[in-house]
Structure 1
Amino acid sequence: MLRLNRLAQADDWWRAEKPVRRGYPASTQMELAAAGIDVYDAMLIPPALRTFEFAEIVLNNQIFRAKRHELEMLPQMHAALQARLTTSDDPVRYHAILDEGALLRSFGGEESLEQRRLLVDLGELPNVTIQVIPFTAGLHPLFGQRIAILRFADHEDEELVLEPTGAGDMYMEFPDEVQRLRTDMDFLKTTALSPEESARLIMETKSSSLRKK
């Protein structure tokens, strides 16, 4: 099994005197250390794919308002996550599957167009794949969930599942449970629209439900 305490030493750039609520630094750190990430999100665009403005709005729209030190750390965390996608030096292999509903939870106007363009641009990178599950696909095994399956360079044959929840992030490393979620994730890859069809749907989607505070 992967050892979470070992992974916690992978990078210390985010460390601060005050802890960030809901384990956000720990989950971000794991994504930064991963060699490969498969993510499904029925609710929101995943952090690594967000514009900075959308990332800031999501943080401010949580149940508890963001604290100053969280907002101060956000630019660094946001830049680090996207750098893992775009760097030419060993970029992370990233496969995102989004529910069409996640595209609707944006904030409208020119900012929404910028977010959609970023999704399309990132999806054109050789190490990034973005697919959308349309409403017409109906129910599926991961309906309504948010999970990320992480692989690490020194443990390619083992995977860890990160599941964000309202009470904090859950980490799963039991082989049977990880394999079940891997099977479900692979099924979604065959159910979702192709990357090309997904890019067209992303640019056609009108979104306005998440607002600034």
Structure 2
Amino acid sequence: MAMCSGMGAMLKRRHLGRHLRRLRLDSGMTVNAILRAKIMGKSKLYAIESGKQPDLSWPEIQELARLYGAPEDLTAELVRMARESLEPGWWEPFSTIMVKDFALLLELEQASDRIFIYASELVPGWFQEREYMENIDGITSEAIELRELRQVKFWERDPGPEIIVVINEAVLRRGMTPGQLERLRLDAERPNVDIRVLPFGAGLHASMDSSYMIMDFPDGDDPDVVYLEARDGCRYEEAPATVAHFRRTFSVTRQPATSLEE
């Protein structure tokens, strides 16, 4: 079992749920047999296996693991994950201003080892400088503080993930400040970052619908994810066919993109 050090609470719950589901299936234990053991109800079991149970009880996790015949060292690791999943994330003080399910992105981006981004309207959050943030209509000082802290958490990763970015030319033509342009140039010089611009001359391109992010993970237990954001919440797509569709779309979109200097 892969160790989960450095992961946030949500990712730990997702890992824990997948391991428990695998243990249940491998053991041949039926859901009815688990219900007869009176450890928990069906809805809670499924919530845990899907990583959506926020208030995990480590004694229940221990009972489940032992019921499935898990070795003691694996049981201890699952219990540890359950305990740690109850710890608050660094972003908790900002939870009231974040769109629904945004916290999961803050954890996923800490675990991903390769990230593809298409930005249609705004400079991606990791690359924004303060004056640019302040010019975004409706942004609050608390939201700026969250963005800056998010950047600190992200860029302190060592080693950092490979980041491949395509920015629509419109991003550079709307609200761009000299400081922001310089920030993009400096970030583009990072060895793990590639930033390209999709020119207007590319015409009606494959990514016109929206911005998106594709995150790859080194651990086989973590499926690759497509992230989409809207005003009222976030969407995460893990179906292999959907992820493959966005990969093809990004690849086609990136072909006519040029460097920042061009």
Q: TM-score, normalised by structure 1?
A: 0.74
Of 50, 54, 63, 2:128 maps to 50
1:149 Cα deviation after fit: 0.1
Corresponding residue for 1:177?
242
Contact 2:94 2:142 in 1 (8 A): no
Q: How does 1:92-107 map to 2 (within 5 A)?
A: 92-107=161-176
Deviations 1:22-69 (A, max 9, x none): 1333323322222111000111110011113323443xx24xx53x65
Bigger Rg over Cα: 2
Of 76, 97, 103, 1:25 maps to 103
State the structure with bigger RCO (CA 8 A, min sep 6), 1 or 2. 1
Contact 1:93 1:128 in 2 (8 A): yes
In structure 2, C-alpha distance between the alignment counterparts of 1:29 and 1:99, rounded to whole Å = 26
1:19 Cα deviation after fit: 3.0
Q: How many correspondences in the alignment?
A: 182
Of 114, 124, 145, 1:36 maps to 114
Q: How does 1:76-115 map to 2 (within 5 A)?
A: 76-84=149-157, 89-107=158-176, 112-115=177-180
Q: Which amino acid aligns with 1:75?
A: E
Deviations 1:135-162 (A, max 9, x none): 0010111114100000122139941000
Q: Which amino acid aligns with 2:185?
A: V
Q: 1:90 to 1:161 in 2, by over 3 A?
A: same
Name whichever structure is richer in strand by fraction: 1
In structure 2, C-alpha distance between the alignment counterparts of 1:119 and 1:15, rounded to whole Å = 29
Of 14, 18, 35, 1:6 maps to 14
Q: How large is the Cα RMSD of the aligned pairs?
A: 2.7
Contact 1:55 1:78 in 2 (8 A): no
Contact 1:56 1:74 in 2 (8 A): no
Structure 1: where are the runs of 5+ without partners?
202-213
In structure 2, C-alpha distance between the alignment counterparts of 1:173 and 1:82, rounded to whole Å = 25
1:14 Cα deviation after fit: 1.8
Corresponding residue for 1:200?
261
1:151 counterpart = 2:216? yes
* Dislocated runs of 4+, deviation >6 Å: none
In structure 2, C-alpha distance between the alignment counterparts of 1:11 and 1:173, rounded to whole Å = 25
Q: Which amino acid aligns with 1:6?
A: R
Contact 2:130 2:144 in 1 (8 A): no
In structure 2, C-alpha distance between the alignment counterparts of 1:81 and 1:157, rounded to whole Å = 19
| Identity %, equivalent residues | 25
In structure 2, C-alpha distance between the alignment counterparts of 1:143 and 1:113, rounded to whole Å = 27
1:72 Cα deviation after fit: 4.2
Q: TM-score, normalised by structure 2?
A: 0.61
Deviations 1:90-129 (A, max 9, x none): 111111100000112225xxxx111111111111111100
1:17 Cα deviation after fit: 7.3
Q: Which amino acid aligns with 1:98?
A: I
3-state secondary structure, aligned to 1:45: coil
Q: 1:156 to 1:36 in 2, by over 3 A?
A: farther
Structure 2: where are the runs of 5+ without partners?
1-9, 16-50, 52-84
3-state secondary structure, aligned to 1:22: coil
In structure 1, C-alpha distance between the alignment counterparts of 2:254 and 2:261, rounded to whole Å = 17
